[in-house]
Each structure stands twice: as C-alpha cells, then as structure tokens.
Copies of this chain bind each other. A is one copy, B any other.
Amino acid sequence: MSNFTVVETETLQQGITRLFGGDSTISESTPVAGGCINQGRRLRLSTGTTLFCKKNTLENEGMFLAEAQGLAALIGLCSRVAGPRVPEPVGLIQTAHNQYLLLEWIDTGRKTLRSTQEFAVALAALHSAVVTTDELPGSVPRAAADETVPIPEAGSPVRQYGFVGNNYIGSTPQINTWNTSWVDFFARHRLGYQLDLARRNGLTNSSMLTLADAVLQRLPELLPEPDHPSMLHGDLWSGNIMVDAHGSMVLIDPAVYLGHYEADLAMMELFGSPGPSFYEAYEHTAPLEPGYEDRRELYNLYHLLNHLNLFGGSYRGSVMRVLERFS
C-alpha cells in the first residue's frame, strides 16, 4: 500500500488537491450504482484522472481502511502469481462527517467466452499461493491470536488462518483472529460469531440453536484442514466480480483473510454458479478435493447466517435446511 495515503481535510475537493497536487480539481462527479452500503461516484479530475469514490459516514471508520488493506493484500499477491485483477486503492479522505475511499476506476466491458476460463486459472493461482508475512499489509503483530496460537513471524510462510486485522462481511464485522486450525477458526469466528449475533438479534429459536450446536460439534469430521492457508477474497458472490474493458474479471469489495480456498468457491455459488467451464479451468491449475460439493453448503452457512443478521427472517428457512442436513 505504498501509494495509499489517508488525509484529513475539510472537504473532498481539498482532499483531492492534497492527494493529487495543487492543480487537481473535480471536473465531473457522476453517481454510480452498486454496493448496498456505500454511495458510489465516478470522479473525473481536471488532470484527466478518473477515480471511483465511495462515500461513508465517519462512524464506519474501519470499513474503508479494512477494504483498502484487503485490496492491497490481493494486489500484491496477484501480481506475483498472476492472480485476478483488483482495483488499486488510491487514498482515503476524511472530512468532519464523512470519509471517501478513492479507488482506481475500472472501465466496464463485456464477458467473452474466455473471461470465465481465464478468471478460473487466475483465481486458482491466487488460491494455490503460499503467502509469506511480507505479503501481509500493515504490521502483522497488531492482529490478535486465539489463546496460545503464535502470531505469524516476519518473513516466514503464514501457517495460520485469519488476517492482520478484522474487516467486514457486508456491514457485519468479520473476525480474523489468528488460529492454527482452519476448522477451529471457521467454527469460532465464522459460524460461531454469526450465531451469537443472531441470538443477540433475537433471530434464533431453541431448535435452531440446538441444531447449530450439533453442527459445530461435528465440524472436525465434516471439514478438512487445508494443505496451506490461501488468501481469500472472502465475499466472492457474483456481484463482487466486475468485467473490465478487456473482458477480464476483476475482484472488488473483498473481505480478505487466509482460509480454505473452498470457502471462496462456495460463495461463488451462493447467488449463481460460475458454471462447468469455470471448474474445468480451475481444476487444471488446482484440482478440487473430493466432497467439495457437500462442504460447499456448510461454508455458505456463514453467509446465510450473515444474511439472516443483515436482512432478517426470510433467510431462516435456508439456515435451518443446512443445519438439519449437517447436524
């Protein structure tokens, strides 16, 4: 994140001037749809630069920093291993009441027959990479770790699951406390955290909690420990995959952490599947382990629980079906 700067100013315009030099003014500002939580705009600067600008209130201060950190982590690794394209975070401007995340503008184009295949190969390369602590943004030790789990040491391959800081899945906090066991990490910080939240939100009942307990107990037999932690996008539904002007698929809005790559693949199927040509190309680089189709639902239970927490009761049926299947 060498080029990423955080500036505090009175107005967005002043922030732009600080980031891009004295001549830079906003010559055009157009609303852009997308993103349920933030308000997006395309900014054209007098210098010719075009930016994507997301606005949020200052209360959600950590959200944009976490996003920029996740993007930076993906960009670094993707450039080493020929992973998917990721928009570059350019800067964060904080005013008295608002904050603005500035990202590289991506001109959108149309999918070609090659788009999916090339994306599959790139994603498999990202997932196959062994990440070293040098490739994690920020200072690694500031992240918390479960009990006696050692925090990754500088310069070594990361053998833990988690990330250098928490981030968000939608607007729900996503806990990335380091843990040496993927299954324990997923039980505590993914399913367990969302279940607690649902309970506190009054969205559970006793049968849901009983089933959920049973699933959490069975988790070590249901889920395998991966070969190595993979850098995950973390929120890889189809709405977070853009197509750029060259027809390449671009990863946006990540909720990055190190985990089992199957969790990323599963999320891609929650609201629409990438199709057989994706898997053929992915498996050419990184063959799937048997039983992935069964585990997929279990990994997506995390997102269903999150949707239950974010959007309420209409997700209860889907949650219950998965709990009944695996309890």
Chain A residues close to B by CB (< 8 Å): 31-36, 40, 108-113, 115-116, 238-239, 242-247, 269-275, 277-278, 311
Do A36 and B277 touch across chains, with their CB atoms under 8 A apart?
no
Identical copies of this chain, number: 2
Output the least CB separation between A253 and chain B (Å): 9
Do B239 and A110 touch across chains, with their CB atoms under 8 A apart?
yes
Contact of A113 among B36, B116, B278 (CB under 8 A): B36
Residues on B with C-beta less than 8 A from A36 are 112-113
Do A272 and B271 touch across chains, with their CB atoms under 8 A apart?
no
Output the least CB separation between A123 and chain B (Å): 14
Contact of A109 among B33, B115, B238, B247 (CB under 8 A): B33
Contact of A111 among B238, B274, B278 (CB under 8 A): B238
Name 9 A/B residue pairs within 8 A (Cβ), A-sorted: A31-B245, A32-B110, A33-B109, A34-B109, A34-B247, A110-B239, A238-B275, A269-B275, A271-B275
Do B110 and A33 touch across chains, with their CB atoms under 8 A apart?
yes
CA of A31 to CA of B311 in the docked complex: distance in angstroms? 40
Do A115 and B32 touch across chains, with their CB atoms under 8 A apart?
no
Q: Name the residue of chain B whose CB is nearest to the CB of A40.
A: B110
Do A110 and B35 touch across chains, with their CB atoms under 8 A apart?
yes
CA of A238 to CA of B271 in the docked complex: distance in angstroms? 13
CA of A271 to CA of B281 in the docked complex: distance in angstroms? 12
Do B116 and A271 touch across chains, with their CB atoms under 8 A apart?
yes
Residues on B with C-beta less than 8 A from A32 are 109-110, 245
Do B278 and A112 touch across chains, with their CB atoms under 8 A apart?
no
Do A113 and B33 touch across chains, with their CB atoms under 8 A apart?
no
Contact of A245 among B33, B113, B272 (CB under 8 A): B33
CA of A110 to CA of B250 in the docked complex: distance in angstroms? 12
Contacts A32-B109, A33-B110, A108-B108 given; indicate if A273 touches B271 (C-beta within 8 A).
no
Q: Name the residue of chain B whose CB is nearest to the CB of A31.
A: B245
Residue of A33, A36, A108, A246 contacting most chain B CB atoms (<10 Å): A33
Residues on B with C-beta less than 8 A from A275 are 238, 269-273
CA of A274 to CA of B275 in the docked complex: distance in angstroms? 9
Contact of A273 among B34, B108, B115, B272 (CB under 8 A): B272
